[in-house]
Amino acid sequence: MRRSARLRVVFQTFSWIVLFALFSTIYADVTFTKEEMNWMEEHPVIKYAPDLNYPPFEFKDSDDTIKGIVPDYLKRISEITGLEFEVAEYAIWNDALESLKNNEIDLVTASETGDRKPVYGFSESFIDIPAVIVVRQDNPDIRSMKDLEGKTISTVNGWFINEVVRDQFKTINTKVFDNMDQALNAVSLGEVDAIVVNLGTASYKIQENRILNLKVIENSGISYSLSFAVRKEHVLLLSILNKSLQAIDPSEARAIENEWTTVKRARFYETSEFLTVIGITAVLIVLMWLWVALLKREVDKRTRELSESLSEAQSMKVDRARSLEQLTANKNLLNAIIDLVPYFIFIKNSEGVFLLVNRAMAAFYGLSPAEMIGKKLTEILPFIDDKEQQFYIERDREVLANGKELMIPYENFRNQFDQQGIYKVYKACIAIESESPNCILTVAVDMTEEFNAKKELEEHQRALLEAELQLADLEKKATLGSMVGGITHEINNPVGISVTALSHLKYEHEAFKRKMNDGKLNQKELMEYLSDQDEAISILEMNINRAVDMIQSFKKMSVDQLSEAKSNFDLCDTVDHVIKSLSHQWKRQGHRILFTSDCPIVIESYPGSYSQVFTNLILNSIIHGFEDRTDGTVTIEIQKTDEHIHIRYKDDGKGMTKEHLALVFQPYFTTKRSQGGSGLGMQVIYNVIVRTLHGTIAFDSEVGQGVTCEMKVPVYLRE
């Protein structure tokens, strides 16, 4: 049998094996024990709390539906077991873990860790997740986990990665946020250096939020597995879940994962389909070139056989002609494929000579592919000097030496017509007529429009941030102005009384002098004069001290709010000073402020930040909550533990609707725009508590029920 026939038989056999493997599905029967069946009858509904912001694994879509890989797994488990999975929503992921710990729910999706293992029961893992490092595009310093030493990464409260960093990377600092959006935005805005997160979630959220200034560095070397976490005592539920997971066929599991990991996003060049096209194109090019090399080798072999056997000369001649025809056909097919691709595709050897150029690349330089093949860049573009040419050659040689693919986010391509563009460049090693890689395959994708849009967006974001800072500063000064008005009104009373007492004192003194000069002063009049003097001096002393106390209180408030220095101070004194400074505004309208605390409460933090928070809250209650009414009541309660300060602020005002409550911390949101409201008061409070004081804040309200604000901040603020 001829060699080509044998190869054909092997190829056909292999194809049938692959087809059989692809189209065969094995269904496993699930057998539950009597105890498991009884348990499912007694517990037909399982309360499940998904992470609402963890795509593609589980997330809440725009139509308020829980979607992702995990819900699809639970749907399949429900079909196997008959169990119903009821969703319980928690805005903060860590709250879901606490609820499971407190037996308020039955199941969450989590990774098994050393801290969690004693608290929860974990099923077998059903998906592995590699973690990557995400940084800003303009950050060239971070390339691995080692480069993060001494730097700060953002993370989400309750994440698996928090424990990994704590135990394995002790020199890396973390800044914890409530959700993924906040954590990614912190990296984008430069508040932290990086985020370590799984690639699927990072890609999904970056595309969804259109964050254009982030890049993925590499696999961090950290990976973790997702399991179902249940109450510790639910041993039978664990057994049921494990049996159900084992019953899901691997091909079905892959289909579930592929459904959510290959979804097309808004921009093609950012999707997995784009990478697939690039990969397939690269593979086709490599395969075609390898096929050409193999055919050439076969031609050479047949030529040698021809010289060794004259009896087969005619047959070998025919075979050689066929091989040459096949070689030509393959070359034509290769050129047709790469010419259809709209990106720049070219191959160079280690000396920088073009071996292959597609039509799109050649057209950019106003040439045909044939006019570029066999030449260096310096021979095509007169403005490219030897130094720049050598830079490109050395970079390609470095890729060959490392044997790894290279991605260049932005590279400028220019031609002899003064046209230029920004391209994302992919480079890979390939072997042509060699056993080891000796050439570089390059694919360049035009990113000019996206690059310019990204720069414009960054400029808008920078301008917006500057505007917010300026408005926040104006808000702070406006608050102080309001205090000045109040303190001026309050100080008028003691000053007015003092002036009256001084006038009376002066009048009595003149009368006393006249009587003395006339010799008409008796002892009784002297004693009455001295008594009046003592009373007037007492009135003067009391009212002057009262005015001094008000001035000192306002002085401390103004210094605190305008200062950015951290210090040790009594939080109770700070709150008292705020209440006194605003007394004119709440007293004149008949309102009350009740302040209870285990004073003194000495903390190490920013006193001005606390003054700003309480000032804004009280003014917000007076202006919005107590509008068109008197006798409003504000209650402030402060409790201190070893590590944290718990603050509860409440008023009995008119409250707010759910729609307004959802927007309360949004910048520029106000219901008093026509009356001069800036809409930054509550946003300043949020930024101070969360960003400056590293705390948390929760706001709750109903119409007619007032508002309640719960804040938790550290006793000792660490930078």
3-state helix/strand/coil string of 45-95: EEEECCCCEECCCEEECCCCCEECHHHHHHHHHHHHHCCEEEECCCCCHHH
The domain total for the chain is 1
pLDDT of residue 267: 41
| Pick from 697, 599, 670: nearest CA to 640 | 599
pLDDT of residue 314: 61
**Cβ atoms of 651 and 664 closer than 8 Å:** no
**Cβ atoms of 80 and 244 closer than 8 Å:** yes
CA 203 to chain CA centroid, nearest Å: 11
Instruction: Provide the 3-class DSSP secondary structure of residue 660.
Output: helix
- Is residue 154 assigned to a domain? no
- Alpha-carbon span 344 to 442, nearest angstrom: 8
- Is residue 528 assigned to a domain? yes
**Cβ atoms of 214 and 137 closer than 8 Å:** yes
Instruction: Provide the 3-class DSSP secondary structure of residue 560.
Output: helix
- Alpha-carbon span 583 to 75, nearest angstrom: 60
Query: What angle, rounded to 10 degrees, do the helices at 607-620 and 571-581 form?
Result: 40
Token pair 């928070």: residue: 613
Mean pLDDT per segment of 10 residues, for the chain of length 719 residues?
Answer: 45 39 43 94 96 89 90 95 95 91 95 91 90 90 88 89 87 91 91 89 80 81 88 94 93 87 42 58 75 71 66 60 65 72 87 90 88 87 84 88 85 84 89 84 88 81 67 57 54 61 72 79 77 70 61 55 72 90 80 92 90 89 87 94 94 90 75 53 85 92 93 89
Take residue 620 and report the two structure tokens written for it: 């917000």
Give the single-character DSSP code of 621. Answer: I
- Is residue 94 assigned to a domain? no
- Is residue 172 assigned to a domain? no
Cα distance between the two ends of the chain: 78
- Is residue 379 assigned to a domain? no
**What stretches of 519-565 show up as alpha helix (H) in DSSP?**
523-562
CA within 13 Å, CB half, 439:
20
**Cβ atoms of 333 and 284 closer than 8 Å:** no
- Is residue 561 assigned to a domain? yes
In sequence order, what are the residues at sequence separation of 6 or more whose Cβ sits closer than 8 angstroms to the Cβ of residue 448?
A: 421, 422, 423
- Alpha-carbon span 245 to 253, nearest angstrom: 9
Q: Is the peptide bond before 607 cis (omega within 30 degrees of 0)?
A: no
Instruction: Provide the 3-class DSSP secondary structure of residue 283.
Output: helix
Q: Going edge to edge, which strands form the sheet with 344-349?
A: 354-357, 344-349, 439-446, 420-430, 406-414
From its phi and psi, is residue 590 left (phi > 0), alpha (psi between -120 and 50) or beta?
A: left
- Alpha-carbon span 470 to 680, nearest angstrom: 11
pLDDT of residue 84: 96
- Is residue 44 assigned to a domain? no
In sequence order, what are the residues at sequence separation of 6 or more whose Cβ sits closer than 8 angstroms to the Cβ of residue 151?
A: 142, 172, 173, 193, 194
- Is residue 149 assigned to a domain? no
Per-residue exposure over 597-633, b if at least 16 CB sit within 10 Å of its own CB, e if not:
beeebebebbbbbbbbbbbbbbbbbbbbbbeeeeebe
CA within 13 Å, CB half, 497:
17
| Pick from 475, 716, 465, 470: nearest CA to 613 | 475
Residue range of the domain that includes 572: 462-714
pLDDT of residue 266: 33
- Alpha-carbon span 688 to 610, nearest angstrom: 8
pLDDT of residue 262: 45
Take residue 139 and report the two structure tokens written for it: 């950050």
- Alpha-carbon span 473 to 584, nearest angstrom: 23
Residue 576 is part of a domain; what is its CATH number? Answer: 3.30.565.10
Which amino acid makes up residue 581?
Answer: S
Cα pseudo-dihedral 86, 90, 94, 98, rounded to 10:
-60
**Cβ atoms of 184 and 134 closer than 8 Å:** yes
Beta-bridge partners for 621:
none
Token pair 């008119």: residue: 654
Beta-bridge partners for 344:
444
Q: Is the peptide bond before 71 cis (omega within 30 degrees of 0)?
A: no
